[in-house]
Amino acid sequence: MAILLLFIVNGHRNLLLERICRVKIFLDCFPCFLRQALEASRISGAGEETQRAVMDRVMEKLLDISREETPPQIGSMIHETIRKATGNSDPYREIKHRHNEQALAMAEELTALITGSASPLSDALKLAAAGNLIDMGPERKWNEMRDIFRDFTRKDPTHFDYASFEKALGKAGTLLYLGDNAGEIVLDKILIGVLLRETNLDITYVVRGGPVINDATMEDARFVGMTDLVRVIDTGTAFPGVVPDASSRKFLDYYLGADMILSKGQGNYESLSDEEKNIFFLLQAKCPVIAGKIGCGVGDMVLKPRRGDSAMKREVE
């Protein structure tokens, strides 16, 4: 592994940098890819030899990534490599179940807080955005799930464009809600409950087509009762984001036909931020790359329409 890393840094430095500069990822993403690979290998129960084999294989693949790939596509490659090496088809299954149970245990209290709010929809959006921290992809900054929701209504509203979102809702008949993580899906359910009470929207909720990191799948949607509330479909693929070109025909029918899309989380933002659709992104910026692209700070709560990303440039020394 060390020899390969030296090979990357020295012998193929120029070739790798040339490729990186033309893809939809940044140099800052690469340490995160390797951290995810090692962490997921350990969560899957792999021994040190298998962990080393996974890291070697991932670094080999990073040398040859396509200039058109997004972080969710590379993330899918990493986790497919881990599944094959360890024989564990869903390393995060127990973690997802635990997160769902923890969020469900707080659901009644959080729902009451939203119901009693002077602005239920705005605060439900903020609650769902706070839940976006329940993410095993980026480096985590929390220990107890309850801490995530402390003072969520008092977050800096600078990048929270509720006025535009409310205006767009008034013109929409159908909403496609792109979910992100297990646990977080419980907060999405609370938000959807408010949307159903305050609008006449026909809402479809979307989960991943297979296990990847701690992203929500149909199993999670059934467990938390989302399937009892609205129509739920999957993307047809196990990407930690939405990649339209690789998605199922059924998903694309809903995606292309939706009047409005609410997209949760960084992975969906990374794969859809250039799409020409009526998309609103709802997330917490969890890394400098995403924060820089949006034009906000790390940790900021974001509700924004697809238009208006700040230009983000990276120079290679």
Question: Amino acid letter at 254?
Answer: Y
Rounded (5°) CA angle 169-175-181: 115
* 314 has pLDDT over 50: no
C-alpha to C-alpha distances, 258 to 36, 56, 175, 274, 302, nearest whole angstrom: 33, 42, 6, 17, 22
Answer whether 200's CB lies under 8 Å from 227's CB: no
pLDDT at 309: 44
**Secondary structure element (H or E) that encloses residue 161, with its range:** none
- Helices (H), strands (E): how many in the chain? 14, 6
Q: 190: exposed, middle or buried (C-beta count within 10 Å: 0-12, 13-18, 19+)?
A: buried
**Rounded-to-integer distance, Cα 293 and Cα 296, Å:** 8
**Mean pLDDT, residues 200-211 taken together:** 97
Terminal alpha carbon distance of the chain: 25
Answer whether 72's CB lies under 8 Å from 241's CB: yes
* 231 has pLDDT over 50: yes
pLDDT at 101: 97
**Rounded-to-integer distance, Cα 137 and Cα 286, Å:** 10
C-alpha to C-alpha distances, 11 to 15, 33, 270, 317, nearest whole angstrom: 9, 21, 30, 16
* 315 has pLDDT over 50: no
* 9 phi, psi to nearest 5 deg: -70, -40
Mean pLDDT of the chain: 87
Residues in CB range of 316: below 8 A, 6 or more apart: 17, 20, 21, 27
Using DSSP bridges, classify how beta strands 260-264 and 174-178 pair: parallel, antiparallel or unpaired. parallel
CA 245, 250, 253, 256: dihedral to nearest 10 degrees? Answer: -40
pLDDT at 139: 66
**Mean pLDDT, residues 203-214 taken together:** 96
**Rounded-to-integer distance, Cα 82 and Cα 36, Å:** 10
**Secondary structure element (H or E) that encloses residue 66, with its range:** none
The tokens of 100 are what? 């769902």
**Mean pLDDT, residues 259-266 taken together:** 96
* 287 has pLDDT over 80: yes
* 116 has pLDDT over 60: yes
The tokens of 188 are what? 């999405």
* 307 has pLDDT over 90: no
* 8 has pLDDT over 50: no
Length of the chain: 317
* 293 has pLDDT over 90: no
* 302 has pLDDT over 60: yes
Looking at the DSSP assignment, which residues form a beta bridge with residue 281? 263, 304
Question: Amino acid letter at 99?
Answer: H
Question: Amino acid letter at 289?
Answer: V
Q: Where do we find the tokens 């290998």?
A: 41
